[in-house]
Amino acid sequence: MPRNTDRQSVAANATVANALSGKLYEFVTRPSIVRLYATGSAVGLNMTLLVGGVAIFSDQEVSAANRTPIMPDDFVCEAMAPAGTRLILSYRNTTAGAITAFSTVDIIPVG
Indicate which CATH number applies to the domain containing 56.
2.60.120.680
Number of domains the chain is built from: 1
Reported as a pLDDT band with limits 50, 70 and 90, residue 25 is very high
Structural domain span for residue 53: 3-109
pLDDT of residue 54: 97
27, 77, 79, 33 alpha-carbon torsion, rounded to 10°? 70
Of the candidates 108, 109, 81, 105, the residue with the CA atom closest to the CA atom of residue 18: 105
Closest CA to 76 of 110, 106, 31, 54: 106
Specify the pLDDT at position 111.
77
pLDDT tens column, 71-89? 999 999 999 999 999 999 9
pLDDT, one tens digit per residue, over 32-75 is: 999 999 999 999 999 999 999 999 999 999 999 999 999 999 99
